[in-house]
Structure formats: structure tokens, C-alpha cells
């Protein structure tokens, strides 16, 4: 591999990374089966893929499946703080050009995205839509080559739908996030467990008895609230959508405006995909010692400039924890610079749920390659057959079998004649 095609922290981390990738593969049987099939069928022969994803051991397993399928693949990070340097080094050792260094600054982050685009992709894989946005705004001359792409997360899908609404999306993209086998598991159980894991690793707090404020009761918020309660926390949910708020109430959580919750919370977790959710007015009334964490895609959910403005001093007090001493004497603790806490302070989602998300990614990329020229430049849902197939394969890998409809039941469920 040409050295200009990759940029990682330290190639000597490769052997440690390979072991970790192997460990993750134990929990990714569906991606493993897809990799075997791809290896025989080579659906990506002759195709170049540029993928902007969190550079983790799970992503490495997806990358190896795509490579086995014949893809010429380049990777870059989808977040400056989520890269596992060992995984990046191992990927390069496996012959996959990877551009990602944990803690890279914004300039390097975009340099890496541009290196991935220099690959002149036929297919793109994105997580948060930074690669696709760069492509549409600064590298549009590359778009004529592109067959299609996929998007991994809620925030990316929102940005792409907005691009499509403005009539500016130039090629078809499948919203992998919106597959049931993605958001019901990855967003809920994956983000739920790993967010709590990240905050625990960063702080070592005891959750039992803490007042935990979860801002946003989407699929990720569901998981975080559920797991925090499971550890004995008193969970308060804040929302702006009436239905989601009602669901939180009936799920047994306290629901109130953030202006009230701000005064009583011990730990605040934003998970909305929105900006300035925790604003200056909230920071002004928080208790001394309150902990602030974000698990949403971008580091804009907590108004960090406002926090900086209120502070007279700031010091790192332990890894991933910054203490802000405010002018009025209170101290607030911001975790991982407001970046996704589960990836910055822990290892992101467990491999077992990424198995389903990345099975969707792999099968959707294959679908796009097979349907070359047939798709329009818009945001497509994951084909239902793929979603069902992933669920079926996952069940099989777990040794779970289920019932099937009898012919009479099938008929009944598609007819209107039978009543009481």
C-alpha cells in the first residue's frame, strides 16, 4: 500500500489491534457469514469504497467483509475522538488504507476525509454525513463516478434528507439507521449500555441513588434511561416531542422541562441530535458537582462556549473529565469535551449489536452495487427483505427458532371477509 494513502498513530499497535478485532468477530457471526459469502461471490469486484466510520474493532470486521467481497477500500474516522488506534494499525496491516488518529484536530479530521475521497469512490459509507457533505460542497467533481452510498446514524440521515429536500442530493443513499434491525438494537441497547459504560469509565461514579437527567427520549434515549434505571438511578427525562414525552411518563420516568431538571440533576446526558440542548440558562442553575455528558453525534448538544464563558478556570481532573470552576464558585464536570461519551471514554457499542448494523451496511452496499443505474438520487429506506434477513440470521446465530404462519393464517391476515 502506498504510504500516502494512510495515516495512523503507530503501526506497531497492529498486533494488539488484530487480537481485538478477532475478539469482536466472536460476537459478529452475521457479518462473519456475509464475509464468507462475499469472499466466494465478490460482489464488489472492481469497485472502490470510501468509508467514514468510527474506527473501531467492529468497523474493522465490516471492512474485512467488504475487502473479502473484492472492494478496494479506504477508511477515515467519523469522529476525532472515537478512533481506536490499535484497530487503525491492524487495518493498515490487513491492507486497508486507514486515515484516523485518536484526538486528531479538525484540520486533520477533514484532511483524512479528503484522503478517503481522493480514492475516487464508486460507493460511500458515512456516519454523520461529513463525508457526503464534503463531497457535495468541495469535491463535487467526484460525484459522477458514484453509484450510491449508505448512512449509519440518525443525525446523518437528517442531514441527507435536508440535502435531498433542497434538491441537492446527487446520488442515492440508503438510510441504514432506519432499518428496524439497526435502530431498535444499536440505538437502544448499544447506546444504552455503552453510554453508561463510558460515563462509568470516565468517572467511576456510583449510579445507585443518582438523579440522572436524560435529554431526548428517542431510541438512544430509551436505552440510556432504561440502563440508568437498572443501576438504581432516579431517571428524569426531558423532551420536546409530546408523544415521546408521554411514552417516557408511561415507561415510569419523571418528565419535566430542563429548566427544572437542571436544578436537581447529578448527571446530565444529552442524546437528541440537536444543538444547545443544555444552554447557558441551565448551566447557571445546576448543582455544584454536576456531571455533563453527551452521546449524540456532534459535540453541539451542550453549549460548551457558554460553559467556557461562565468559568473562571478549567483543568483536566482525570482522563476524559474537565473540571470547570465557575465564577460563582460551583464546579461542573464536562466529559470527553462533549463528544460521544460511549466512543470517547469506552469502546462504543458492543460488537453483538454492531453485527446487525454492519450486516445491514454490507447487504445494502451489495444491493446498491447490484442495482447500479436503477436508483435515483434520493434517500432510500433499507429494503425490507434485507432487514428481515438480518433479523433471521441473527436469530439463527443465537440458536433461536420461531413459529411460521400457517397457510390459513396467511390468508386471514390478508383478507377482510372474516369477522366475528
Interface contacts to ligand NAI, rule CB under 6 A: 153-155, 183, 187, 191, 215-221, 238-241, 244, 271-274, 277, 295-297, 340, 342-343, 348
CB of 181 to ligand NAI, least distance (A): 14
Phi, psi of 66, rounded to the nearest 5 degrees: -70, -40
CB of 274 to ligand NAI, least distance (A): 4
* No. of helices (H) and no. of strands (E), the chain: 18, 15
CB of 370 to ligand NAI, least distance (A): 27
CB of 70 to ligand NAI, least distance (A): 29
CB of 316 to ligand NAI, least distance (A): 22
Q: What does each C-alpha distance from 352 to 29, 166, 230, 242 come to in angstroms?
A: 8, 37, 20, 32
Torsion of CA 165, 166, 172, 176, to 10 degrees: -50
**32 and 328 Cβ atoms separated by less than 8 Å:** no
**Where on the phi/psi map is residue 406: left (φ > 0), alpha (ψ -120 to 50), or beta?**
beta
Q: Which residue number, 18 or 297, has a Cβ lying nearer to ligand NAI? A: 297
CB of 345 to ligand NAI, least distance (A): 11
Tell me how far apart the alpha carbons of residues 357 and 390 are, in angstroms, rounded to a whole number.
Answer: 9
Q: Which residue number, 25 or 82, has a Cβ lying nearer to ligand NAI? A: 82
- Residue 106: name the closest of 277, 339, 310 by CA: 339
Q: Which residue number, 80 or 221, has a Cβ lying nearer to ligand NAI? A: 221
CA-only gyration radius of the chain, Å: 22
Q: Which residue number, 69 or 218, has a Cβ lying nearer to ligand NAI? A: 218
Q: Which residue number, 183 or 380, has a Cβ lying nearer to ligand NAI? A: 183
Q: Which residue number, 275 or 331, has a Cβ lying nearer to ligand NAI? A: 275
Q: Which residue number, 241 or 313, has a Cβ lying nearer to ligand NAI? A: 241
- Residue 82: name the closest of 41, 112, 123, 122 by CA: 112
Q: Which residue number, 7 or 126, has a Cβ lying nearer to ligand NAI? A: 126
CB of 297 to ligand NAI, least distance (A): 4
- Which residue number is nearest to ligand NAI in terms of Cβ? 218
**242 and 265 Cβ atoms separated by less than 8 Å:** no
Instruction: Name residue 77's beta-bridge partners.
Output: 53
Tell me how far apart the alpha carbons of residues 23 and 354 are, in angstroms, rounded to a whole number.
Answer: 13
Q: Which residue number, 72 or 355, has a Cβ lying nearer to ligand NAI? A: 355
Q: What string of DSSP letters covers 273-294?
A: S-SSSB-HHHHTTPPTT-EEEE
CB of 353 to ligand NAI, least distance (A): 10
Residues whose CB is less than 8 angstroms from the CB of residue 153 and which lie 6 or more positions away in sequence, other chains included: 127, 128, 177, 297
CB of 341 to ligand NAI, least distance (A): 7
Tell me how far apart the alpha carbons of residues 165 and 92 are, in angstroms, rounded to a whole number.
Answer: 38
Amino acid at each position: 500500500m502506498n504510504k500516502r494513502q494512510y495515516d495512523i498513530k503507530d503501526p506497531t499497535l497492529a498486533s494488539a489491534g488484530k487480537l481485538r478485532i478477532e475478539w469482536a468477530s466472536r460476537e459478529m457471526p452475521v457479518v462473519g457469514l456475509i464475509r464468507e459469502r462475499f469472499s466466494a461471490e465478490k460482489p464488489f469486484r472492481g469497485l472502490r469504497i470510501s468509508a467514514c466510520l468510527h474506527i473501531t474493532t467492529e468497523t474493522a470486521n465490516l471492512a474485512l467483509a467488504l475487502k473479502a467481497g473484492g472492494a478496494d477500500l479506504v477508511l477515515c474516522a467519523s469522529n476525532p475522538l472515537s478512533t481506536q488506534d490499535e484497530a487503525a494499525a491492524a487495518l493498515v496491516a490487513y491492507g486497508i488504507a486507514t486515515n484516523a488518529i485518536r484526538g486528531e484536530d479538525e484540520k486533520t479530521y477533514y484532511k483524512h476525509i479528503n484522503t478517503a475521497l481522493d480514492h475516487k469512490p464508486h460507493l460511500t459509507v458515512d456516519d454523520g454525513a461529513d463525508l457526503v457533505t464534503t463531497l457535495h460542497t468541495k469535491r463535487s467533481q467526484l460525484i459522477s463516478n458514484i453509484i450510491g452510498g449508505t448512512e449509519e446514524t440518525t443525525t446523518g440521515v437528517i442531514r441527507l434528507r435536508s440535502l435531498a429536500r433542497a434538491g441537492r442530493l446527487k446520488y442515492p443513499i440508503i438510510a441504514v439507521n432506519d432499518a428496524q434491525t439497526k435502530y431498535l438494537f444499536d440505538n437502544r441497547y448499544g447506546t444504552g449500555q455503552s453510554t453508561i459504560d463510558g460515563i462509568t469509565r470516565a468517572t467511576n461514579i456510583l449510579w445507585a441513588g443518582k438523579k440522572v437527567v436524560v435529554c431526548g427520549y428517542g431510541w438512544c434515549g430509551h436505552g440510556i434511561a432504561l440502563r440508568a434505571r437498572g443501576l438504581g438511578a432516579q431517571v428524569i427525562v426531558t423532551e420536546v416531542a409530546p408523544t415521546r414525552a408521554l411514552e417516557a411518563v408511561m415507561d415510569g420516568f419523571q418528565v419535566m422541562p430542563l429548566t427544572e431538571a437542571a436544578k436537581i440533576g447529578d448527571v446530565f446526558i444529552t442524546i437528541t441530535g440537536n444543538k444547545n440542548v443544555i444552554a447557558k440558562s441551565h448551566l447557571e442553575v445546576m448543582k455544584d458537582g454536576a456531571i455533563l455528558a453527551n452521546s449524540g453525534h456532534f459535540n453541539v448538544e451542550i453549549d460548551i462556549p457558554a460553559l467556557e464563558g461562565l468559568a473562571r478556570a478549567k483543568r483536566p481532573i482525570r482522563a476524559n473529565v474537565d473540571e470547570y470552576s465557575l465564577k460563582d464558585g460551583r464546579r461542573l464536570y464536562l466529559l470527553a469535551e462533549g463528544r460521544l461519551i460511549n466512543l470517547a471514554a469506552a469502546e462504543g457499542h458492543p460488537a453483538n449489536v454492531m453485527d446487525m448494523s454492519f450486516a445491514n451496511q454490507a447487504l445494502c452496499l451489495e444491493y446498491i452495487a447490484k442495482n447500479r443505474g436503477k436508483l435515483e438520487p434520493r434517500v432510500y429506506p433499507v429494503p425490507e427483505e434485507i432487514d428481515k434477513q438480518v433479523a433471521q440470521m441473527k436469530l439463527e446465530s443465537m440458536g433461536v427458532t420461531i413459529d411460521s404462519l400457517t397457510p390459513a393464517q396467511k390468508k386471514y391476515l390478508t383478507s377482510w371477509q372474516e369477522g366475528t
